[in-house]
Structure 1
Amino acid sequence: MHTTPSPRPVTWFARPAARSWRCAPAPDAVRRFHAGQPGHVPTPLMELPALADELGVGRVFVKDESCRFGLPAFKALGASWAVHRILAERAPQDPVLLVTATDGNHGRAVARMARLAGRPAHVFVPRGVHPEAVAAIEAEGARVTRVDGPYDAAVRRAAGAAAEPPAVLVQDTAWPGYEEIPGWIVEGYATLFHEIDGQLRAASAEPPGLLAVPVGVGSLAQAAVTHYRSRPGGPAPAVLAVEPVAAACVLASLVRGEPVTVETGETAMAGLNCGTPSSLAWPSLREGLDAAVAVTDADSARAASDLAALGLSSGPCGAASLAGVRAALAGADAGERRAALGLGASATLVLLSTEGTAANPATAPGDPS
């Protein structure tokens, strides 16, 4: 693993050959599991014609993840499936303590699933997480430990605390030797993309020509790549990863051709402020991502404001998708970038808004996606 110093001048990478790569799909059991959960309904897919006019494409849809299982982000999909798999492998009477590290959304989702299952949870939060986010986790009944360090330090503390039974680490990033449970979390996100398929059909829309995904460690992008690269035949959409300039670890890794760790800086996109790609996600991102772009906090703030004016609640991380598409499809190199993404004037774009503003009190805590 190489370390790349910050700042980095490269803010764009494209690999059109990614559209021809294929992989195995997520298991169908994931969708059946979520469909059977109390209170689960598909999140909205909103069409925003004003953005289609601005971006010079046929149609633009935004997947609004501001309320998933009653929580303000998509994270509950992965946490619920992973906790289900963990508990399914144990006898009902076996003690289990669910442990995780979080910047907010993932930890709250794990705490919620633990409470619903009647199990305890212990959540480690790094420096800078807003007190309201911590209070929301504690309100789910979890024990919270504050770590005086960044997200990576909180992950190390959580991993240490989960080293002995009955504790089980439920982390949404992977490293060598710890990949099974993060793999279940990624599988859980598959439901989101199946919903998009059905919602586009219901809107008489073409399959997406481009999907934009906010990226932290790359788990949600891995789920997107898996979904769209596991379909036999037919055109595959371009998948665009969007990261903060202050923490573009996937972009730096794609440019180098191998995983790198970057020095992260401050960013309002706190849930994307990750310095190292997930080891589980990296092979899929390397082979199946069409492009990656880095955006500034100002780009994200403008996008969040514009989405709010169009009736959609989106925090800085969720609005990064719009900021990234704007960066990719405008400016002096727009024609070249559109060609690399295979986008024509009639293309359908889908942007993932991964969290609502409720997930981002004041300092915008989120979680690595």
Structure 2
Amino acid sequence: MRHNASSPRALPWSARPAARSWTCPPAPVGVRDFHASLPAYAPTPLTELPSLAAELGVGRVFVKDESCRLGLPAFKALGASWAVHRVLAQRAAEDPGAGPVTLVSATDGNHGRAVARMARLLEQRAHIVVPRGVHPDAVAAIAAEGAETTQVQGPYDEAVRRAAEVAVAADAVLVQDTAWPGYERIPGWIVEGYSTLCLEIDEQLAAAGAPTPGLVAVPVGVGSLAQAVVTHYRSRPARPAAALLSVEPEAAACVLESLTRGAPVGVTTGETTMAGLNCGTPSSIAWPFLEAGLDAAVAVTDADSARAAADLAELGVSSGPCGAAALAGVRAALTGEGAEGRRTALGLGPASVAVLLCTEGASANPHTAAVPSARSPR
């Protein structure tokens, strides 16, 4: 197989069409109402791009544009705001006289900035741990929110471990968007926060006279957004069910590797401009949903993502490398040698509707610094 028309390499791909028959309970109610109560809330655009539909051989293509979400250039504010709200509500119920708390998190950029923003708005403190390879401008944006920042020389997984240590030592609250055994409640709240994005898509497709999507493509780091997407579409009775495609960098394809092996595994992470997806281990709470509910997974190169970002910009959609990964992944899946087999696996036809989640704007992810390979130990 070929990755695309210009690349002779085998396409990193895994498919499981039986996922469309799997079901799960829906996300809890009330999350969307909470977001709607925030002064900066507005649904992000769902932009139809007919030229992409023609290129990809499907009926309609829509891009969910997360370049401005609650005043920040990425979708992460949805999860961080809901989780911080839940953390502070629980804290107030347990100790009504409690003073400000420090919120700690590790980040490749967008999640940490969202936690820092919420801490500033709610008069709390924030301490954000950043792995190597994150551009200095992204670190500066976090610090500009008033957060203390600590940079580690290892990859994302090492930053997560360091953040957990900081939280324990400082009697602070870890607000992390990945989970592991023993730390799952707050990551679960973050996943719940992302459900608002999916509900907006439902309403926007209906307003556009479009049916339920035949394909939804989601960029994946540890898998929290993908867990929310799987939860949304696998808890609904729509038929035919949507095919769900995860997209990762080839340099950090932990979900693809885990699906291939049939168990969650850590992978060696390397250099990638898709900094927000440069994660070596799937979230423990996301993995069961990804294993059961994803139809397929694909990995793309930085060049694929850069081309997709440039094409989206020409079409009026601001996208960083991570956000453009969705288009890069759909292109890889639906074009090139072997594409007909992949279309069949995804259940797509010439009238299908595809929704691409463009998870960040161009300003969210400056060019990523070079990162030497590192083995994810967790």
TM-score norm. by structure 2 comes to: 0.92
Q: Deviations over 1:317-339 (max 9, x none)?
A: 10000000000001121111101
CA distance in structure 2 between the partners assigned to 1:291 and 1:180 by the alignment? 27
Counterpart of 2:6? none
The alignment partner of 1:144 has SS state of strand
Residue pair 2:72, 2:114 contacting (<8 A) in 1 also = yes
Counterpart code for 1:20: S
Q: Give 4+ residue runs of structure 1 displaced > 2 Å after superposition.
A: 232-235
TM-score norm. by structure 1 comes to: 0.95
Counterpart of 2:38? 37
Counterpart of 1:314? 319
CA distance in structure 2 between the partners assigned to 1:127 and 1:233 by the alignment? 43
Alignment of 1:106-145 (within 5 A): 106-145=111-150
CA distance in structure 2 between the partners assigned to 1:186 and 1:333 by the alignment? 34
TM-superposed deviation, 1:166: 3.8
Counterpart of 1:49? 50
Counterpart of 2:5? none
The alignment partner of 1:90 has SS state of helix
Counterpart code for 2:98: D
Counterpart of 1:169? 174
Counterpart of 1:200? 205
TM-superposed deviation, 1:233: 4.9
Matched, 1:93 2:97: yes
Counterpart of 2:194? 189
Counterpart of 1:224? 229
The alignment partner of 2:168 has SS state of coil
CA distance in structure 2 between the partners assigned to 1:195 and 1:89 by the alignment? 27
CA distance in structure 2 between the partners assigned to 1:114 and 1:358 by the alignment? 21
Q: Deviations over 1:68-96 (max 9, x none)?
A: 01100000000000000000111253132
CA distance in structure 1 between the partners assigned to 2:133 and 2:237 by the alignment? 45
Counterpart of 2:335? 330
The alignment partner of 1:307 has SS state of helix
CA distance in structure 2 between the partners assigned to 1:99 and 1:195 by the alignment? 29
The alignment partner of 2:91 has SS state of coil
Counterpart code for 2:325: A
Counterpart of 1:146? 151
Range moving further from structure 2, 193-202 or 87-96 = 87-96
CA distance in structure 2 between the partners assigned to 1:138 and 1:167 by the alignment? 18
TM-superposed deviation, 1:10: 6.5
Counterpart code for 2:345: A
Counterpart of 2:375? none
Q: Deviations over 1:37-76 (max 9, x none)?
A: 1110000000000000000110000000000011000000
The alignment partner of 2:270 has SS state of coil
TM-superposed deviation, 1:362: 2.5
Counterpart of 1:214? 219
TM-superposed deviation, 1:135: 1.3
Residue pair 2:221, 2:279 contacting (<8 A) in 1 also = yes
Residue pair 2:80, 2:115 contacting (<8 A) in 1 also = yes
Counterpart of 1:60? 61
CA distance in structure 2 between the partners assigned to 1:131 and 1:272 by the alignment? 17
Counterpart of 1:3? none
Query: What percent identity do the matched residue pairs reach?
Result: 75
CA distance in structure 1 between the partners assigned to 2:151 and 2:89 by the alignment? 30
Counterpart of 2:4? none
Counterpart code for 2:233: Y
Q: Number of aligned pairs?
A: 358
Residue pair 2:11, 2:332 contacting (<8 A) in 1 also = no
Counterpart of 2:366? 361
RMSD: 1.4
Out of 279, 288, 291, the position equivalent to 1:286 is 291
Counterpart code for 2:182: G
Relative to structure 1, the CA distance from residue 305 to residue 356 in structure 2 (aligned partners, 3 Å threshold; closer, same or farther) is same
CA distance in structure 2 between the partners assigned to 1:324 and 1:294 by the alignment? 7
Matched, 1:274 2:275: no
Q: Deviations over 1:164-184 (max 9, x none)?
A: 564000000001110000000
Counterpart code for 2:48: E
Residue pair 1:316, 1:364 contacting (<8 A) in 2 also = no
Out of 341, 345, 368, the position equivalent to 1:340 is 345
TM-superposed deviation, 1:360: 1.4
TM-superposed deviation, 1:364: 7.6
Residue pair 1:269, 1:364 contacting (<8 A) in 2 also = no
